[in-house]
Every structure is written in C-alpha cells, then in structure tokens.
Amino acid sequence: MIDYTILLINEDEDIYKVLSVSLDDIGYKFVVAENMDTAFDLICKNKPNIVIADLKMSDTKRVEIINKMKKQAPDIEFLIIVEHSDVQAAIAGLKNIASDFLIKPVNKELLIITLKRAVELVRLRENLKFYNDNEIMCDVLINQMIHEEVIKIAPDYKIQDINNAMLNKLGIKREDAIGKFCYEITHHRNIPCSGVEHPCPLVESIANRKSSQATHIHLDKERNEIYCLISCYPLIENEKVTGVIELSRDVTRDVKMQKSMLQQDKLASIGRLAAGVAHEINNPLTTILTTAMLIQEDLEKDNPIYQELDIVSSETLRCRKIVTSLLNFARQSKPEKKQYDICEIMEECALLTRKQAAFKNITIHFSCVDSIPKLFFDKGQIEQAVINLILNATDAVDPGGSITLSVSLNPKKDQVIIKVADTGKGIPFELIDKIFDPFFSTKDDGTGLGLSITSGIIEQHGGAIYVSSKPGYGTTFTIVLPAGLKEK
C-alpha cells in the first residue's frame, strides 16, 4: 500500500468506478466524497495528500469551490479530470485550480504517471521544508529529480541551478544557463514574463510565500514551441524567500491532440456541407459554360461580346475548379492500402514536381535513408498529400531558392518522418494555427482546401502533420507516419 492518501470526489458514477478500481489496483489509499460540499469536511478530517475532482471549466461554481479548497489546504496537490474540449481552458486555468489534469476517458497508464508526478510534488514540498535551511541538500534534491525538469531561480530571475532533464530539453550546457535570466533561457526574450498569457509564478511565489502554478510556452533546442505546466515552490531561509524551485511538465501532446480532434470535427461538418453544395452548383455551372461557348461559335473573335464571353468561361472554369476541390475534400475516402517502398514513392513525387519548380529556377533536393521498411498505405493519397506540399512550397519560394524532400526513420518511436522544407518567405506566426483550416488561403487564386485535404489524408493513415516556420527563413512541413503500418 502506497503511504499517500487520495480524496476522490465522486460526482460521476462512471468516472468513480474506473478510478476506484485503478487506485485499488495500483495500491493507493483513498477516501470518497459524495460531492464538493462534503469534500471540505474530509479534507480537514483525513488530510489527504492528493485530491482528484471531475471538473467542467465552464462550471464557475465548482471552480470556485476548488479554489476555496486550495486556499484551505495549500499543501494538497489537486488533479482535475476534464473533457477533451476543455483541455486548453484547463491548462489556462491551472494557475489557481490544480497542478495537473487528466483527460476523459481516464487511461490507467496516464493515471499512474500523473499520480506518480503528484506524489513527487508532495515529496518535493515536504523535502523543501526539511532542507530549506540547508542549501547543499537542496541542490542535491534538485539533481536527484531525474524525471522532472527543474530550475532553481533567485528572486532577481537568475538561474542558480538546473538539472540534466531541463538541460536536455533546452539543448544547452550547464555553464550556458547558470547566472542567466530564466526568461532568456526558456523563452528567448529580454524581459520577465508578465500578463495574462505568461504570468510569472516566481513573482507570485515570492510575494505570497506559497507555491504557485502557471502555463507557459517554452522553446526547445530546435526553437519549437512547448506548452508547459509550471509549478513554483518558494525557498525560505531565516524567514526570507531566497528563491524558488520551478518544475515544468510538457503538455504539448495534450494540446495538439485536442486541436487535432477539433479540426477533425470541423472537417467532417464542412465536408458534409461541401458535398451537398458542390453537387447543386455543378449543374448550373455546366449550363453557363456550355451556353457561353455556343454563343461564341456564332461570333467573330474581334467582337467585344466574344471577349466578354471569354471572361465568363474562364471564371466559370475557376468556379468549377473550386467545386472539384470541394468534392475532393468531401469525399476523402478510406485509404486503400497496399505495400509500397516509401522512398520510391517519394522520389516519384520529387520527379513529378521538378519540372514545374524548374520554371521558377527552383531546385528540388531529395534524400532517403536505406533502412526504411516497406509500408502499407494508399499510394495515390500519400502522393497527393506530398505533391500538394511541394507545389505550395514552389509558390512560396523565390527564383534561385530550393525545396528539400527527405525521408527518415525514427526507430525508437517506430515512425517514418517525411519532411518538405523550403527556403521561402515563411509563414507569419499569427497564421500558423489557421493554415489547416478549410477555405483559409494566403493565395489570391487559392481555394484554401489543399492543406485541409492533406491533413485529412495523413490522419486517416494514423499519422500527423506539423509545420514549423520563421518569416524570412522558410517553412518545414513534417509528416509522421507509423512505421508499423499494417494492412487492415
């Protein structure tokens, strides 16, 4: 039996059954509160180390109750269970509500990991109280936490110590961090964090002499954004706060998962609408185009009306192109998978687009590692997705630039990585989150469906697509496919 007590607030019978069985299997002692109101009494009576509560972020009354519990028992670690649709709201609200969260339906393995982290936070709080007057022991404690990303920060924001886990995440050496400002190292900025987007938990911990939480966006060694849950614990020596211990948890996967699910729902709804609208529009478009061409047959080419009809025909064909894109978007059929050599297919994509790129004096480079096994996938769909990315890159790159298509293997994660990188103008930061939205386009003649279709194809193959870009330095689209794809 694990020597830590959990208070489980039971307001959802299904959640309660799953959690109670799981907690019992793992070996945790737990008590149950039938509702939020009785939870107060049990907190005073049983003094639990961890509280687990089901919570809708829109339910302001329950959020308020948990806030009161937190104030009443500041040393307790609060874990909240949220819906997928509430993930970002939960992350934003964790500053005052909880130190961590779980997503429904609760997965037992994730529950074990989350509880292990909560227990480590409880132990850390206990150890900090014990070691507060012993700086050497405190430093030992930081570097023993090999599974946590930890920084020791002085009140003037300067880093006093940093453990290996955090150094590895940031891709720097210890000497590059010690003595530097924390906001320089984790955020690559020259002023301290502040405001609603990046509240500084260090300032709050020092001011209140209590632990505090916040959510930040850090940058890893490749300058990719990482969504982090930050917990700060004050270090008190001779009644004076001498600094804080800051722990970080990477929740990027949860945020991206939620965005992906919302995107899929949006695509499905728009797809159904698009199919109906496209069929209704196609017939009158055909009539307009045919009529314009028939009238032109009775006119001389120098007749002004003939030229006007040319415009009618070209604009009608443009509408038909949009309708065809709508239908392709709506159809996104189930992949018909067969076994192929992914390197051969990607080389075909490079060859098919090389001539078009050459018209703009753009060079396409291709590379593929030899160790990639054959995969099961839909050749036509994967070709469509990659060619679309290359053609988009061609539009974005100036004459004399280049596009690189590369295929590699990540054996540790059993993944095949396909990258399309260009030396183009890059995508403005404020547009990155919109580029996969249906009908969003930065091109004057674009339908805004190409990347939506590409994203749908990759996700139907069990993969994911990511984009990283820096204005003026180019853009890289990364497709991740499971190397273990099997025919089903």
The secondary structure of 48-101, three-state, reads: CCEEEEECCCCCHHHHHHHHHHHHHCCCCEEEEEECHHHHHHHHHHCCCCCCEE
Please indicate, yes or no, whether residues 1 and 92 belong to a single structural domain of this protein: yes
101, 131, 161: which is the final residue of a domain? 131
Mean pLDDT (whole number) for 422-448 = 78
Please indicate, yes or no, whether residues 245 and 264 belong to a single structural domain of this protein: no
Please state the φ and ψ torsions of residue 258, each to the nearest 5 degrees.
-65, -45
* pLDDT value, residue 58: 62
Please indicate, yes or no, whether residues 313 and 385 belong to a single structural domain of this protein: no
Please say whether the beta carbons of 201 and 246 come within 8 A. Answer: yes
Please indicate, yes or no, whether residues 40 and 109 belong to a single structural domain of this protein: yes
Residue at 357 is within a domain = yes
Per-residue pLDDT band at 295 (split at 50, 70, 90): very high
Please indicate, yes or no, whether residues 452 and 357 belong to a single structural domain of this protein: yes
Please indicate, yes or no, whether residues 112 and 1 belong to a single structural domain of this protein: yes
Residue at 487 is within a domain = no
Q: Which residues contact 377 (CB under 8 A, 6 or more apart)?
A: 335, 337, 338, 340, 342, 461, 481, 485
Angstrom distance (rounded) from CA 186 to CA 169: 10
| List of long-range contacts for 248-251, beta carbons under 8 Å, 24+ apart | 248/148, 248/149, 248/150, 248/151, 248/166, 248/169, 248/218, 249/100, 249/117, 249/149, 250/149, 250/169, 250/226, 251/91, 251/215, 251/227
- Bridge partners (DSSP) of residue 5 are 29
pLDDT digits (tens, 9 = 90+) for 393-410: 998 899 999 999 999 988
Q: Which DSSP string do the residues of 341-375 spell out, in sequence order?
A: -HHHHHHHHHHHHHHHHHTTT-EEEEEE-TTPPPE
Residue at 84 is within a domain = yes
Angstrom distance (rounded) from CA 236 to CA 210: 10
- The mean-pLDDT minimum among 98-107, 272-281, 446-455 falls in 272-281
Please indicate, yes or no, whether residues 151 and 240 belong to a single structural domain of this protein: yes
366: CATH? 3.30.565.10
Residue 286 in this model has a pLDDT that exceeds 90? no
Instruction: Tell me 432's DSSP state.
Output: G
Residue 39 in this model has a pLDDT that exceeds 50? yes
Residue at 488 is within a domain = no
pLDDT digits (tens, 9 = 90+) for 133-185: 555 556 555 655 545 788 889 999 999 888 888 888 888 888 989 999 998 88
Mean pLDDT (whole number) for 280-286 = 82
Our count of domains for the chain comes to: 4
Please indicate, yes or no, whether residues 52 and 98 belong to a single structural domain of this protein: yes
* pLDDT value, residue 488: 44
Residue at 191 is within a domain = yes
**Sign of the CA dihedral 68, 69, 74, 79?**
negative
306, 331, 356: which is the final residue of a domain? 331
Higher per-residue confidence, 446 vs 465: 465
273, 302, 331: which is the final residue of a domain? 331
Please indicate, yes or no, whether residues 155 and 270 belong to a single structural domain of this protein: no
What rounded mean pLDDT belongs to the chain? 80
Please indicate, yes or no, whether residues 221 and 240 belong to a single structural domain of this protein: yes
189: CATH? 3.30.450.20
Domain extent, residue 119, equals 1-131
Mean pLDDT (whole number) for 442-464 = 79
Instruction: Tell me 429's DSSP state.
Output: G
Count Cα atoms within 13 angstroms, Cβ side, for 284: 5
Instruction: Tell me 484's DSSP state.
Output: T
- Bridge partners (DSSP) of residue 479 are 418, 465
40: CATH? 3.40.50.2300
